[in-house]
Structure 1
Amino acid sequence: MSDMQDYRSSLEDVNSRKFETFSYLPPMEPEGIRKQVEYLVRKGWNPAIEHTEPENAFDHYWYMWKLPMFGETDADRILEEAAACHKAHPNNHVRLVGYDNYAQSQGAAMVIYRGKPV
């Protein structure tokens, strides 16, 4: 297994931390993020947007941006809300969550904007 890569991350180095599955991959282009939003909508999951300061991402609850977007099926509307959250909180991480009503849990969660540590 010499092909395995060690992702060096630490609590002291805020920039090194990984969040959710997609953070181990190269950053997603806007088209990739859109495809993930469309997947979330196709699954019937309710989108919600959360944000937090980078230094609090591991040991604090994330703040909810407005209310979950129950029943929203327009990917543009979801992406616009995520962009509005990022604009309002440019130094925070912004995460998109898809709530699965059937399983009563998160079906998907991904950081789509990484904040800058202060």
Structure 2
Amino acid sequence: MQTLPKQQRFETLSYLPPLSDQQIAKQIQYILDKGYIPAVEFNENSDPTVFFWTLWKLPLFGARGTDEVLSEVRACRSEYSNCYVRVVGFDNIKQCQVLSFIVHKPR
């Protein structure tokens, strides 16, 4: 067993190489399958002490497929390429965010 090199980690899946759009789509499908509401957020820094991210548009309440959500991810990445972008899933029963993962890191 080997220890990972010391570096800043970001939320869920951060130990993996950057996700492709196809891999992001699979994670989004999981969100939709669970009945969670997907949303896209961005922020200039992802420091763990920063609890507030800016919401990209409104949560995608009526999203039926991954293409709708992935389209918003691409638009946010394009407009805010200097920011971290993440996808979050909200549980409307528990009324809280139940998962999130980074889909873009600025270079």
TM-score (normalised: structure 1): 0.81
1:62 maps to 2:62: no
Higher helix share: 1
User: Greater relative contact order (Cα 8 A, min sep 6): structure 1 or 2?
Assistant: 2
Bigger shift: residues 29-38 or 40-49: 29-38
1:48 maps to 2:39: yes
% identical equivalent positions: 38
Give 1:20 shift: 1.2
1:8 maps to 2:12: no
Contact persistence 2:24–2:103 (CA under 8 A): yes
1:89 — aligned with what? 80
Give 1:72 shift: 1.2
Unaligned runs of 5+ in 2: none
- 1:31-52 per-residue CA deviation (whole Å, 9 max, x = no partner) reads 2111001110111110111001
Give 1:26 shift: 2.5
Counterpart code for 2:6: R
Aligned residues: 105
Give 1:67 shift: 1.1
Q: Which has the larger radius of gyration?
A: 1
Q: Distance in 2 between matches of 1:95 and 1:7?
A: 24
SS of 1:64 mapped into structure 2? strand
Q: 1:4 to 1:50 in 2, by over 3 A?
A: same
Unaligned runs of 5+ in 1: 10-16
TM-score (normalised: structure 2): 0.88
